[in-house]
Amino acid sequence: MCFSAEADLVAGVVVGVVAVDTMRHVRRPAELPIALIPAVFAVHQFVEVLVWWSLEDRVSAEVGQRAVWVYLVLAFGVLPVLAPMAIAALEPPPRIRRMGVFVALGCGASIALMYAVLMHPVHASIRGHHIVYHATIEHNDLVLPAYVVATCGAMLVSRHATMRIWGLLNAVAVSMLVWLDQSAVVSLWCVWAAATSVAIAVHLRLADRASHVRRDLLGQEVEVVEVGEVHDLEVDP
C-alpha cells in the first residue's frame, strides 16, 4: 500500500467509525481507557494528514510543524502510558498489580520521549511512501524496547484472548518494521496499530453481549425462584 495523505485520511475515517462503535459498547468505567485508544489513533491519522499536506506545500509550514508536535505528543506521550494502563484496567485486582511493570515502563519511555520533543527541535520529512519523524532521543536503544514492551507486553499477558491476539499482531508488526527500516516505525506502526484497533471493538462487543446474556440468565433465575416460592405457599398445609 502506498501511504499518503489520502491513505491517512481514509484510515482516520475508518478507525473513527470503529472508535464510535467501541464507545457504544462500554459497560463500566474500567473499559473506558481501552475504548479511548481507537479514538486516539483516529485523531493521530487525521493529524498526520496535516503533516503530509505541509510537506507537500498544501498548508503552511507553521500548521505542519504544529501537526508534527501534536502527532509526536500522542505517539510519545500518550500511547505508551494509555495502552498498558487500559489493559491493566480490564484485569482483576491481583493481576492489575502485576501489570504495574508495564505501566512503569510506559511512563519511563513517555518521559524520555517527551523530553526529546520538548527540549530538542523536531521535524518531519517524506521518505519513500512514509513520513519520517526526526527527534533527538537519548538512549534510544533502551527507550524503544521499553516502549514496545510497555505497549505490546501488557496485551500479551492479558487474560483476554482478543487482547493477546492484538498484542501479538502489534509485536510482530513493530519487530518487522524495526528490522526493515527503524525510521518508519513511528509512522507506519501507528497506522498498523490503528487498523488493528478493531480488536478492541470486538473485545468490547463480546463483553457487552456476554453481559446481556448473564443479565438474561439472572432474570430467568429470579423468575424461577419467585414461581417456586409461590408454589410452596400454595402446597404448605
Query: Going by C-beta distance under 8 Å and a sequence separation of 6 or more, which residues neighbour residue 158?
Result: 87, 90, 91, 164, 167
Record the pTM.
0.78
Band (pLDDT 50/70/90 cuts) for residue 103 is very high
Among the listed residues 62, 38, 59, the one whose alpha carbon sits nearest the alpha carbon of residue 49: 59
pLDDT at 47 (0 to 100): 93
Q: What is the mean pLDDT of residues 176-196?
A: 63
**Which residue has 487500559 as its cell numbers?**
86
The three cell numbers of residue 105 are 515502563
| pLDDT tens figures, 11-51 | 889 889 989 988 888 888 888 998 898 899 899 889 999 99
**Which residue has 487498523 as its cell numbers?**
195
**Does residue 185 have a pLDDT over 80?**
no
**Which residue has 520529512 as its cell numbers?**
125
* Upper half-sphere CA count for residue 89 (Cβ side, 13 Å): 16
Among the listed residues 126, 129, 125, 82, the one whose alpha carbon sits nearest the alpha carbon of residue 106: 82
Among the listed residues 191, 186, 189, the one whose alpha carbon sits nearest the alpha carbon of residue 113: 186
pLDDT at 213 (0 to 100): 52
pLDDT at 188 (0 to 100): 65
Which has more pLDDT, 77 or 215?
A: 77
Residue ranges per domain, the chain? 5-207
Query: Going by C-beta distance under 8 Å and a sequence separation of 6 or more, which residues neighbour residue 193?
Result: 41, 170, 173
| pLDDT tens figures, 58-85 | 999 999 999 999 999 998 999 999 999 9
